[in-house]
């Protein structure tokens, strides 16, 4: 992995878009945590604080129509595809204005109209499901690419290995993205994995290139994503990309992350993706006022979302009995 800043040939407008995206994910996640502290998020939630560059970099490299599959740690990936903060926070708060009107919750954010095909909470399954989405594209001669995000811990379940082999033998247009944040829930990934790099070191077993990148650098993420998407669209098959990153918060909302060695968080905060990207744009000549304006716009969206969600009613009780079956209802007998 190269830590040095790449010679960037990314358009300034694209980089500003990635800054906006990262800043927005940061603000939205922080607000989600605030709302939890106010006891307004009663279900579980898993934040991506510190991992924003991956979601922003990939989503910016995607084209409309490309499909995203992510995990229960999926707020960032959902927002990065353009879903409103209000819909995400509303879902976390079990309000009628939520993305699924409260029926899915934080772990299952889905917005088909934005290409977000679901957030999956059983480790491993969605790598297989993403294969199917990519197979459909190949079958129908469509140009869309499927991206599947998952954690380091996911590389030790059988479904990960089945999906990789499957995607390779069928040459599917799918990009597997491992967000290696060094921990599964509370156990360090290095304590439970046969190889140092849980995804990258497995690539060769499936005849894939070993790709290990700095997941806190949106430019690197974006350029790596572009390459993988070009390969997929050219019919050359899947890619497996391991992105090194770190989550700033605990595994889930109530986890104080006491298991982390002292100083580790502070060390990783030096490469906080949002802050380092801001500094990079400034040193590349972007005016502070431009970035300030982006930040103000984002804050406005998040503030308005909070107000709207606090005012929104809960879903009607009978909504819970809808959409078990395609007829819209839940009848299992006549």
Partner 1 sequence: MAELTYRDAVARAIAQEMERDPNVVLLGEDVAKAGGVFKATVGLYEKFGPKRVKDTPISEQAFMGAAMGAAMTGLIPIVDLMFADFAAVCWDFFANEFPKSRYMTNGQVKCPLVIRLANGSARFGAQHCQSVENWCMMIPGLKVVVPSSPVDVVGLLAASVRDPDPVIFLEHKSLYAVKGEVPDGEIIDTIGTAKTLRPGKDATILALALMVPRALAAAERLKAESGIDCEVIDLRSLLPLDTRTILESVSRTGRLFTVEENPRLCGWGAEVVSIVADEAFYDLDGPPVRITTPHIPLPPAELEDLLIPSVDRIVETVRRTMSA
- Cβ-Cβ contacts under 8 Å for 142 (sequence gap 6 or more): 65, 136
Rounded distance, CA 323 to CA 334, Å? 17
Specify the stretch interacting with ligand TPP by CB under 6 A; choose among 37-45, 92-100, 108-116, 119-127. 119-127
* 278: partner contacted, choices Mg ion, ligand TPP, partner 1, none (Cβ within 5-8 A by kind): none
- The size of the interface with ligand TPP (CB under 6 A), counted in residues, is 15
Question: Pattern 162-201, binding to partner 1, x per CB under 8 A?
Answer: xx-xx--x--------------------------------
| Interacting residues with ligand TPP between 149 and 208 (CB under 6 A) | 150-154, 181, 183-185
Using the minimum distance from each CB to partner 1, give the nearer residue, 8 or 125: 125
Closest CB to partner 1 among residues 45, 111: 111
Per-residue x/- mask for Mg ion, residues 173 to 212, rule CB under 5 A?
--------x-x-----------------------------
Q: How far apart are CA 334 and CA 298, in angstroms?
A: 51
Per CB under 8 A, which of residues 48..87 are in contact with partner 1?
Answer: 67, 69
The phi, psi pair for 71, rounded to 5°, reads -100, -175
What phi and psi, each to the nearest 5 degrees, are found at residue 68? Answer: -110, 135
Least distance to Mg ion from the beta carbon of 80, Å?
Answer: 18
Which is nearest to 156 in space by CA: 111, 201, 115? 201
> Using the rule CB under 6 A, is 54 a contact of ligand TPP?
no
The count of other CB atoms within 10 Å of the CB of residue 134 is 29
**Alpha helix segments (H runs only) across 7-124:** 12-37, 52-61, 75-80, 85-92
| Cβ-Cβ contacts under 8 Å for 117 (sequence gap 6 or more) | 67, 68, 69, 110, 129, 133, 146
CB of 148 to ligand TPP, least distance (A): 12
- Alpha carbon distance 241, 224 (integer Å): 8
From 61-69, 93-101, 116-124, 290-298, give the range in contact with ligand TPP by CB under 6 A: 116-124
Q: Which residues contact 178 (CB under 8 A, 6 or more apart)?
A: 150, 151, 152, 154, 155, 198, 199, 200, 240, 241, 242, 243
CA gap 195, 200 in Å, rounded: 9
User: Alpha-carbon distance 154 to 283, whole Å?
Assistant: 37
- Regarding 152 and contact with Mg ion (CB under 5 A), the answer is yes
| Nearer to ligand TPP (CB atom), residue 76 or residue 309 | 76
CB of 200 to ligand TPP, least distance (A): 14
Q: Which does 154 bind (CB under 5 to 8 A by kind): ligand TPP, partner 1, Mg ion, none?
A: ligand TPP
CA distance 238 to 205: 14
Site residues, partner 1 (CB under 8 A): 67, 69, 99-101, 103-105, 108, 110-112, 117-118, 120, 122, 124-137, 139-140, 146, 158-159, 162-163, 165-166, 169, 319, 322-326, 328, 330-334
Site residues, ligand TPP (CB under 6 A): 73, 121-124, 150-154, 181, 183-185, 251
Site residues, Mg ion (CB under 5 A): 151-153, 181, 183
């Amino acid at each position: 992995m190269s830590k040095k800043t790449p010679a960037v040939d990314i358009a300034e407008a694209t980089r500003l878009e990635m800054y906006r995206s990262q800043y927005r994910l940061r603000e939205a996640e922080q607000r989600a945590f605030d709302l939890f502290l106010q006891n307004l998020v009663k279900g579980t939630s898993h934040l991506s604080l510190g991992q924003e560059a991956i979601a922003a970099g990939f989503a910016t490299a995607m084209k409309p129509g490309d499909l995203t599959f992510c995990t229960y740690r999926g707020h960032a990936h959902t927002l990065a595809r353009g879903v409103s903060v209000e819909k995400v926070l509303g879902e976390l708060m079990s309000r009628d204005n939520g993305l699924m009107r409260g029926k899915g919750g934080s772990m299952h954010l889905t917005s088909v109209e934005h290409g977000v095909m679901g957030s999956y909470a059983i480790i491993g399954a969605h790598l297989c499901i993403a294969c199917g989405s990519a197979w459909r594209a190949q079958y129908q001669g469509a140009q869309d690419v499927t991206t599947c995000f998952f954690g380091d811990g996911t590389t030790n379940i059988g479904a990960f290995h089945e999906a990789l082999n499957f995607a390779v033998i069928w040459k599917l247009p799918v990009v597997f993205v491992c967000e290696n944040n060094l921990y599964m829930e509370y156990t360090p990934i290095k304590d439970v994995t046969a190889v140092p790099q849980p995804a990258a070191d497995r690539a060769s077993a499936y005849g894939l290139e070993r790709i290990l990148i700095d997941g806190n650098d949106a430019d690197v993420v974006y350029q790596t994503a572009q390459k993988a998407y070009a390969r997929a669209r050219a019919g050359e098959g899947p890619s497996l990309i391991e992105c090194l990153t770190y989550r700033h918060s605990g595994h889930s909302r109530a986890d104080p992350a006491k298991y982390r060695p002292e100083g580790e968080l502070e060390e990783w905060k030096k490469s906080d993706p949002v802050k380092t990207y801001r500094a990079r744009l400034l040193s590349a000549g972007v005016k502070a006022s431009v970035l300030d304006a982006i930040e103000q716009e984002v804050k406005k969206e998040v503030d308005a979302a909070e107000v709207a969600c606090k005012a929104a009613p809960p879903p009607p009780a009978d909504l819970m009995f809808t959409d078990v079956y395609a007829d819209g209802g839940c009848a299992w007998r006549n």
